[in-house]
Structure 1
Amino acid sequence: MLEPGNNGTLLVRTPGLSRFNEIGHGFFSRHGGVSQGELASLNIGTAVNDDPDLVRENRLAIAKAMGADRLAFVKQVHGKEVVVLDSAPDKSPDPLWQTNLEADAIVTNLPGVFCAVAVADCQPILLYDPEKKAVGAVHSGWRGSLQNIAAHAVDAMVRAFGCNPAGMVAAIGPSLGACCAEFIHYRTEIPENFWKYKDEKDHFDFWALTRDQLTAAGLESQNIDCANICTKCTPEHFFSYRASRAAGRFAGVIGLKPA
């Protein structure tokens, strides 16, 4: 399940994306960082009462593990907006780039610029077009899933980079599985057209929903991997908000290796 990074981190990679040597990708576990207590140790969340200096050190560790020139983050808001990076974010030598733009996906075709999302039960979804050499990282919580953020990211890559969804590869990272995704108020929270993803215990299979949304966006089903790791079931390896409300955030990252 977990494989070592090059600096003490541990991460999950998926077979589909691992075929391409020109990119780096990974879903980082909570191991290998410097945060303490319930946030131990590789927390990258900035809104969980962690020391900002420790969060920065953790983010730098991820950038180093990926070999990234820049590690780019957006301000996640459980929506459907996508940030397109088609030119260098700025001229700063700082390897970390954080925009105040509110979005839940970030896409780019810039070598060395790695896209990152922060999650703890929400789905980290990674996208790659090997023809157009463009990547994307998506934060898809249940609210984002209902707004089809994954398809919005695919569409942004089509419009910005000329990607063909049929040739794209996707990976769904560790997140809340159907085993634990109980929604007792689903009748008021989730529109009825999504109830087909519910079992008799009021648990929803958002992995299946994401697969369906990606295939509806044009991806081939055989090009969509799922880690099939439930974060609530594995809090020893991944932060989970449902397992602990004081949870940190772990990273899903993808990028084109520096030229």
Structure 2
Amino acid sequence: MVEAVLIDLFSLPANLQSNIQGLLHSTLETIEKCSSIPAPFVYVMCSQRQESKRNSEQESLLPALRDFQSLKKRLDVVHALTTAAALYTIKQRLDEKDLSIIKIILPTIRKDLMKVYVDHLFTAVYQFEFEDLQVASDCKNLQIAEPQSEWQTLPTQDVVLIQSEIQMYLESLPSLKGELTILRSSLIPDDIFLHGFTTRTGGISYIPTLSSCNLFSSSKRRDPQVVVKENLRRLANAAGFNPETFHRVKVDHANAVCIMGKTEPDSYDGIVTNQKGVTIAAPGADCIPVLFADPVRKACGAAHSGWKGTLLGVSMATVNAMVSEYGCNVKDILVVLGPSVGPCCYKLPHESAKEFHRIDPKCVRLFDSPSPYIDIRRATRVLLESGGILPENIQDDSVTDQNQNITFCTACHPEKFYSHFRDGTNFGTQIGFISIKD
């Protein structure tokens, strides 16, 4: 069932622009007659040719809208200078209402273009259907019809132009929720390594649970890859790394490790490198982003350690990769545990809790309850120390620094961090990143 209708009047021929009131009236009339639900939300995209004309254009549309009482408060006319700006504005309004099933009514010549915009600005959460907006023989009216033409692939140069338009628009947007903030460890020497852990501020993601510096896009969330890419560009600019040589782990909640420069596995939760200027990163939204640095051999690593990865030993697997690939001495490797869900908040079913109890009984609180509290950080520290990492070379602020410099509980600090545990399925993601300076 269609939840929203988008009418694309952005590129009407010049001879129709002057009659936009009548055109809109006839189009809305058709929607009212044909709609599968009594009153879908309707969004109209119009070109904003000159700022001075905007108010008069808006006023000229009002008579066309007054006749449609069922669409009152459900109809929104969006003027913008570019298709990217108009469509992104409409996306925000769809997301405010949690709408996902959208019918786009548009001129046939715009259909292949619109498909590219939609593919870039939306994710698989949304479902689209298209209908043709055809000019009637009298050239004064528009008609809605079933699509007549097959999809065509746009020439590469046209796609590149659309991508550039989208990127320029996103770069122009203001940062949300304050300045971009990076947390840094004093354990990792900053004359050799560039590193940090992100917080949720300073990006452009606007959906509340993803706002604002979300750094991961998936088919199950409403933040598209282009927005995440813009957030990453802003982070790279603030931190001083090149976003074009940035590599994030491909999370599998297991213990595979990618060696930069060798064949990349399909999925992996650890990554290591000794290449200068290459930034590697691990995400976390309760799971621990763990950073590794060897200032002697000048090598580094990053790991994503959730409860499954912790039990499977992903942190020591990352250490072992640095030892075997780069000749690191385990006693030289520094390890920093980033923001992650603390034992104050995190629970697991009793069966899983048993596995943590075997690592160290102190990793589990209220062991006899159906869902005991779990300390995945402690389990990580115990496993690292048993693998030869020196205790003084592990930074876990929940133990070593009561001022909480880095290892905050993500669930306890909604203003600073994302949390899957706290926010549910449409959660945002922060990262830990590290690189070797040139």
Aligned to 1:95: none
The 2-side partners of 1:86 and 1:52 are apart by 25
Aligned to 2:419: 240
Aligned to 2:310: 145
Displacement of 1:190 in angstroms is 4.6
The 2-side partners of 1:74 and 1:172 are apart by 16
Mapped pair 1:186 → 2:361 = no
Aligned to 2:366: 200
The 2-side partners of 1:188 and 1:15 are apart by 34
Gaps of 5+ in 1: 1-6, 90-98
Q: Could you tell me the percent identity over the aligned residues?
A: 32
Contact 1:15 1:225 in 2 (8 A): no
Aligned residues: 240
Aligned to 1:24: 194
CA offsets 1:116-155 (integer angstroms, 9 cap, x no match): 1111000000000001100001000000001010000000
Contact 1:25 1:253 in 2 (8 A): yes
CA offsets 1:169-209 (integer angstroms, 9 cap, x no match): 110000010101112x1225652514611012621111111
Displacement of 1:68 in angstroms is 1.9
Q: Which letter maps to 1:186?
A: H
SS across alignment from 2:292: strand
Displacement of 1:228 in angstroms is 3.2
The 2-side partners of 1:130 and 1:124 are apart by 20
The 2-side partners of 1:29 and 1:238 are apart by 5
Contact 1:178 1:205 in 2 (8 A): yes
User: Which is richer in strand?
Assistant: 1
SS across alignment from 1:155: helix
Aligned to 1:66: 239
SS across alignment from 2:200: coil
Normalised to the residue count of structure 1, the TM-score between the two structures is: 0.87
The 2-side partners of 1:130 and 1:86 are apart by 20
Q: Kindly tell me: are residues 200 and 44 of structure 1, through their superposed partners in 2, closer, same or farther at Cα, counting changes over 3 Å?
A: same
The 2-side partners of 1:134 and 1:217 are apart by 18
Q: Kindly tell me: are residues 51 and 100 of structure 1, through their superposed partners in 2, closer, same or farther at Cα, counting changes over 3 Å?
A: farther
Show the 5 A alignment for 1:1-259: 8-17=179-188, 19-37=189-207, 38-47=209-218, 48-69=221-242, 70-86=245-261, 101-183=266-348, 185-188=349-352, 190-191=354-355, 193-194=358-359, 196=361, 197-200=363-366, 202-226=372-396, 227-245=406-424, 246-257=426-437, 259=438
RMSD: 1.9
The 1-side partners of 2:278 and 2:354 are apart by 36
The 1-side partners of 2:185 and 2:225 are apart by 30
Displacement of 1:66 in angstroms is 2.9
The 2-side partners of 1:207 and 1:100 are apart by 26
SS across alignment from 1:57: helix
Q: Which letter maps to 1:12?
A: L
Contact 2:249 2:304 in 1 (8 A): no
Contact 2:258 2:265 in 1 (8 A): no
The 1-side partners of 2:195 and 2:231 are apart by 17
SS across alignment from 2:342: coil
Displacement of 1:243 in angstroms is 0.9
Contact 1:63 1:71 in 2 (8 A): no
The 2-side partners of 1:223 and 1:118 are apart by 22
Q: Which letter maps to 2:431?
A: A
Query: Structure 1 residues 159-168 or 58-67, which shifts more?
Result: 58-67
Aligned to 2:174: none
User: Which is richer in helix?
Assistant: 2
The 1-side partners of 2:354 and 2:252 are apart by 18
Displacement of 1:74 in angstroms is 2.6
SS across alignment from 1:218: coil
Aligned to 1:92: none
Gaps of 5+ in 2: 1-177, 397-405
Q: Which letter maps to 2:279?
A: F
CA offsets 1:200-234 (integer angstroms, 9 cap, x no match): 26211111111111112211100111233100000
Q: Kindly tell me: are residues 189 and 221 of structure 1, through their superposed partners in 2, closer, same or farther at Cα, counting changes over 3 Å?
A: closer
Q: Kindly tell me: are residues 238 and 151 of structure 1, through their superposed partners in 2, closer, same or farther at Cα, counting changes over 3 Å?
A: same
Contact 2:203 2:211 in 1 (8 A): yes
The 2-side partners of 1:190 and 1:40 are apart by 36
Higher relative contact order (CA 8 A, sep 6+): 1
Normalised to the residue count of structure 2, the TM-score between the two structures is: 0.52
The 2-side partners of 1:244 and 1:174 are apart by 16
